[in-house]
A and B are shown apart, each in its own frame.
Chain A
Amino acid sequence: MVQDFFLLMRSELMLILIIFGLLFLKLGNARLKNETVMNMVNAVLIATLAMGFLVKDTGMIFGNMFHTTDLIRLEKNILTLGTLIISLQSYQWLKAHKHAMEFYLLLISTLLGMFFMLSSANLLMFYLGLELSTIPLAAMVNFDLHKKQSSEAAFKMIVSSAFSSALLLFGISWMYGIVGSVSYSAIAAAVTGSPLEIFAFVMILAGFGFKISAVPFHLWTADVYEGAPIPVTSYLSVISKGAILFVFITVLYSVFRSMGDTWYYMLYILSVATMLIGNLFAMRQQNMKRFLAFSSIAQVGFILLGISGQSVASSTSLIFFVLIYIFSNLAAFGVVSLVSSAYDKEKVDDYKGFYQTNPLLAWTLAIALFSLAGIPPTAGFFGKFFLILAGAAKGNWLLITIAALNMIISLYYYQRVVKAMFMDHNAAPLEKINTPLSPKIALIICIAGILITGLYSGAYEYIYQLVS
């Protein structure tokens, strides 16, 4: 029992260790440099990552509320990796920040929440994890305390997340009324697809829709992404979204499996709307963060398309895509973050002639954007291709055509940034940016990930083997 507890919850315990360690340091009047703190946290994160891969085990504890499988462990590792990258990238921003420790406290708390969410085998556990991962995020969005935008974004974030939680809970409460239990297995066994269940499911779906910012539940996304500090934005767009998607797929595939035909059409509509609106709005954005926000909405559309395939390949592709998406989006945000912290410039036009002064960063951003657009040989190509292929298994060719056309629209706005960097003339391009070591490492990890994950199929096959 105790052994199980330590073995199954080792990732969570590591994070708790970080949280308490930081708290004690803070309480114990430790006068540490921010860099020291960051290095310590990074080291522990690396240890967590390594531990996640070490022992394979599955099991349930806490009265079947918390379960771990190799797949869940892998999902956790993916999120840890992403968090590590973000932590490395936030160096520039946190270096002189007054509240670096608090930032890490909140960051790790949200990650812990996600871990619990992933491991939940029960809607109560899921809800707790979800809230643990969103409430500190709102505080993180407000982390630039003196900036108006930051507070505004935080307020939008917390109101919309609370609203979506309310929707989700309303659905869950009805589900509980129908089934009499909130455990996944009991619900899965009892669901038949009656109208009341569909009502409850729609509510749950709407809640999820908010969290993953699918159209028409996306209205908060762009504002929050723009207002938040960049590391937080990247965290929001990648890690938190990825975690919710992982759970979403579990909920859809194992809890509401028997309602598959019903939710296929819902996902169909959501997916089309999300792709179209996300893309169309992304085209007219001038601010890099907003632009990436809308592009991430569009990405969700593709993900929903992949999920609608309802097969092993769908889950695999989703997890694979999230992994790739972490690399690609974080590479993009990494560069944006460097530029923003050096010159406080976030407009697309500011990137004109960027290549002349910062060739390496320009290439990094370009590769990241190409990966987001899904162009070979970057991993994004594989990720997107497999997602659409998974969706195509249903034989809905209209949907696939819409998706394919949306890829072109998305390519248009991604290449717009590349064009600004490489082709447009600018009399006074941004000066050379000095990249400190840790963001450099983060970018190298990202680029390596982008280039390797796709061409080398090991990751996909590993995930596939775990899923099936």
Chain B
Amino acid sequence: MNLNWLIVLPVVSALAILPFSQLKQVRSIAAIGATLQLLLSCVLLYVFMQDPASGMSGSLAFESSYAWYKPLHIYHSVGVDGISIAMIMLTAIVVLAGVLISWNMEKMSREFFFLLMLLSAGAYGYFISTDVFTMFFFLELAVVPKFLLIGIWGSGKKEYSATKLVLMLMGASALVFIGLSGLYFNNASGNLSFNMSELAANPLSVEQQKFFFPFAFIGFGVFTALFPFHTWVPDGHSSAPTAASMFLAGISMKLGGYGILRVATTIMPEAAHYYSPYIIVLSAIAILYGSFATMMQTDLKYINAYSSVSHTGFVLFGIGMLTKTAIAGAVIQMVSHGLMTALFFAVIGMVYERTHTRMVDKMGGLLKSIPFISTVFMIAGLTSLGLPGFSGFVAEMMVFIGSWENGGTLHRVATIAATASIVVTAVYILRAIGKVIMGPVEHEAYFEFKDARWNEKSAAIILVAAILVIGITPFLINHLITPGTEAIMNKLVANP
């Protein structure tokens, strides 16, 4: 199977949107495109699982390579392993849900869906790249659509948020770029190369790793809301339109974690060991800070945004622990958080559309007027809280177990501190659910509300289904990602 279809499909659907200007035409094209993407991802998953030779052996599958900038040794090479496929599935699901949620986007609909498709192209391209240059290309490709999506369709202080987001993310890519060029020039083979497997086979000297690892790590880390650089997350998420929030929190934040796994830890394993304590400390701070900050919030979007900081903290936390279970947990947390937060933002969007407010204090008793939406809201909240049966539980559990495997004192202390955040999470989630869903109905007008339309329902159902699949049958996803994580672990173990 040619992986490039994953890039071609969204690009084609984006271009197909351009000639039309009516919302009806545009959204159906987008929906068809997103559905095809999901189907293609499913096919990919199926083929991958079925192919015993390449599929589950830990090496990359469906590899192909085209010379792009030959004099500079830049190739457009693609390949996937389990981790990538999980990310691709996540992207496909969130994109489809996002398109469905934005079904009634009246304002500049053509541009909106065009950018959405472009964004997904960037994400797919990023996840399938095995050449760090193309990876970087797609990483940056995904930034500008975000800027425009937030700046044009957003709400609140959207210009400020958009500017902040684009500057921080581009700054992050600049750091990534330095790390990448360090790899390009200094790898042990002596050839200039951007190819991941070549780079992994010819690692840098330890000194150079120590120099370049922070660039790559911090660069990717900013995408995943690494502690001092997380400030774009709350502003960006809360100002963005619903679909863009879903995308930002659901996919975009995963780009960083994925990049750290692929580039920082796999190619520079010694440095990963060396910097592990710093990563742990920073991510533990992010987890705690995120959850405490969430408690202060009364705006639903801010609640979800800050909780995202906390949740993605687990991703970095798991990676920083450098144990197999923790890394697997981090991957599952990426998927789980992607789905959960997308669902949460979707449902916040639905609520807002009806109540015209996002303030927790000003709502109440929604369950009585819009039961479907309220139920979904509750599911999202409980996933976020980490209730068994939902995906959040699996992910966090694995991260904690994996963390405990790492016997360092600092690691233990950090693990305990991070675990404590669950309690805080429970507090703010339950409070929000209690105030918004339960309790007395705030306004008479609430009874006028119509429950979710078909598009909202289907978006929610897709996401909830995915959450449940992971939550109830975690071994499936574990099975999918194990070869990938093992490959990373082998690297880490071989180069202490």
Contacts and interface: CB of A to CB of B under 8 A. Distances in A.
B170 A408 contact: yes
Interface string A448-468: 000000000100110010001
A411 B211 CA distance: 26
Interface string B467-494: 0000000000000000000000000000
Contacts of A395: 185
Interface in B51-94: 68-72, 74
Interface in A337-391: 370, 375-377, 381-382, 385-386, 388-389
A388 B143 contact: no
Nearest to B141: A376
A460 B71 contact: yes
B184 A397 contact: no
A357 B344 CA distance: 36
Contacts of A370: 144
B162 A385 contact: no
A392 B140 contact: no
A418 B70 CA distance: 34
B230 interface: no
A400 interface: yes
Contacts of A400: 178, 181
Contact of A461 (B71, B175, B182): B71
Contacts of B181: 388-389, 392, 400
Nearest to A392: B181
A405 B174 contact: yes
A457 B177 CA distance: 20
B44 interface: no
B436 interface: no
B170 A411 contact: yes
B70 A401 contact: no
A461 B69 contact: yes
Secondary structure type dominating chain B contacts:
helix
B52 to A, nearest CB: 36
A392 B180 CA distance: 11
A415 interface: yes
B144 A375 contact: yes
Interface string B157-184: 0110011001100110011011001101
Interface stretch (B145-153, B358-366, B370-378): B145-153
A407 B170 contact: yes
A128 interface: no
Contacts of A316: 71
B22 to A, nearest CB: 15
Contacts of B292: none
Contact of B167 (A382, A389, A412, A457): A412
A408 B184 contact: no
Given A376-B140, A422-B148, A407 B174 contact: yes
Contacts of B68: 457
Contact of B152 (A401, A412, A422, A457): A422
Contacts of B170: 375, 407-408, 411
Contact of A415 (B72, B147, B211): B147
A252 to B, nearest CB: 21
Contact of A411 (B158, B167, B177): B167
Nearest to A366: B148
Contacts of A219: none
A440 interface: no
Contacts of A464: 71
B229 interface: no
A411 B182 CA distance: 23
B137 interface: yes
Nearest to A363: B111
Interface of A: 312-313, 316, 370, 375-377, 381-382, 385-386, 388-389, 392-393, 395, 397, 400-401, 404-405, 407-408, 411-412, 415, 418-419, 422-424, 457, 460-461, 464, 468
21 contacts: A312-B71, A313-B71, A313-B72, A316-B71, A375-B143, A381-B137, A385-B177, A386-B69, A386-B72, A388-B177, A404-B175, A405-B171, A407-B174, A408-B171, A411-B166, A411-B170, A415-B147, A419-B151, A419-B163, A457-B68, A461-B69
Interface of B: 68-72, 74, 137-138, 140-141, 143-144, 147-148, 151-152, 158-159, 162-163, 166-167, 170-171, 174-175, 177-178, 181-182, 184-185, 211
Given A376-B138, A418-B148, A460-B71, 10 more contacts: A375-B143, A375-B170, A392-B181, A397-B211, A404-B178, A411-B170, A415-B163, A418-B147, A423-B159, A423-B162
Closest 6 pairs between A and B when the two form their complex, measured CB to CB: A404-B174, A464-B71, A423-B151, A376-B141, A408-B171, A392-B181
